[in-house]
Amino acid sequence: MTDILVVEDNLEMATLLCDFLEAEGYSAKHCADGESALCAFDKDGARLVILDIMLPGLDGFGVCRKIRETANTPIIIVSAKTEKDDKLNGLILGADDYIEKPYDIDILLAKIKGIFTRRYQSDVISDGFLKIDKSKRIAFKENTPLDLTQKEFDLLLLLAENSGKTLSKDYLFNQIWGFDSFSEPQTLTVHIKWLRQKIEADPKKPKHIVTVWGVGYRYER
């Protein structure tokens, strides 16, 4: 997974920003338009998206809206559009912050560092029912260790990290098995069934890994 996806049509600005990010230890990927950004996000994911608004084709508002349909990945809008309505629109669509161009690179880097610290510093997710240790790759159900395969663990972690959010089947499949995987999409359904057998009191009436018909799945605490 890429640390930061930079969506910016100004190549010089994007290159400079990616250089700064990589100097800070982040992996960065650049896309110059909205459509390619969504393809990159679906294929590789990202821990954070830095998003321009004025893009060729699908604009940044459209990109933000599409990402929010499937993921709660942090989004920072960086734009020369400084009107109040533009800022409100970006925040209403789900952006975590809205920064005006030209911006101070040190301020942007500080905001990025703050997001990564709050969102990703902890290696343990715990909600009273499940406890997942990301670094040790161990999961517990009410303090009882779960016997999970690698893919089961990855799938459970992705669902738990997006607790309360409905994730589409395509997004889950691409994130866990990869866009170019030779596995069949039915593999996801099978793994969901196996996870339910391991964490649900009644796998036939799941309360934690919930099916959202026609869309995908959602983890509920």
**Residue range 5-28, pLDDT digits in tens:** 999 999 999 999 999 999 999 999
pLDDT over 70 (residue 180) = no
Say what the pLDDT of residue 151 is.
Answer: 94
Ranges of each domain in the chain? 2-120, 124-219
172 in Cβ contact with 217 (< 8 Å): yes
pLDDT over 80 (residue 113) = yes
Q: pLDDT higher for 212 or 118?
A: 212
Say what the pLDDT of residue 179 is.
Answer: 59
Q: Which fold has domain 2-120?
A: Rossmann fold (3.40.50)
Q: What is the rounded distance in angstroms from the CA atom of residue 63 to the CA atom of residue 181?
A: 25
Unique residue bearing structure tokens 């030779």: 182
Say what the pLDDT of residue 182 is.
Answer: 58
Say what the pLDDT of residue 122 is.
Answer: 67
Classify residue 53 as exposed, middle or buried by CB count within 10 Å of its CB (0-12, 13-18, 19+): buried
Q: pLDDT band at residue 100, thresholds of 50, 70 and 90? A: very high
Amino acid at 144: T
Q: What is the rounded distance in angstroms from the CA atom of residue 123 to the CA atom of residue 165?
A: 20
Q: pLDDT higher for 57 or 134?
A: 57
Unique residue bearing structure tokens 């605490």: 221
Q: pLDDT band at residue 213, thresholds of 50, 70 and 90? A: very high
Unique residue bearing structure tokens 């559009």: 81
Q: With pLDDT > 70 as the criterion, what percentage of the chain qualifies?
A: 97
Q: pLDDT higher for 44 or 204?
A: 204
**Overall average pLDDT of the 159-179 stretch:** 87
Unique residue bearing structure tokens 């959202």: 212
**Could you report how far apart the first and last alpha carbons of the chain are, in Å?**
25
Whole-structure pTM value: 0.61
As a three-state string, the secondary structure of the chain is: CEEEEEECCCHHHHHHHHHHHHHCCCCEEEECCHHHHHHHHHHHCEEEEEECCCCCCCCHHHHHHHHHCCCCCCEEEEECCCCHHHHHHHHHCCCCEEEECCCCHHHHHHHHHHHHHHHHCCCEEECCCEEEECCCCEEEECCEECCCCHHHHHHHHHHHHCCCCEEEHHHHHHHHHCCCCCCCCHHHHHHHHHHHHHHCCCCCCCCCEEEECCCEEEECC
**Overall average pLDDT of the 180-186 stretch:** 66
**Closest C-alpha to 219, from 117, 106, 127:** 127
**Overall average pLDDT of the 145-158 stretch:** 95
**Overall average pLDDT of the 57-71 stretch:** 94
Q: Which fold has domain 124-219?
A: Arc Repressor Mutant, subunit A (1.10.10)
Q: How many CB atoms lie within 10 A of CB 18?
A: 19
Say what the pLDDT of residue 183 is.
Answer: 65
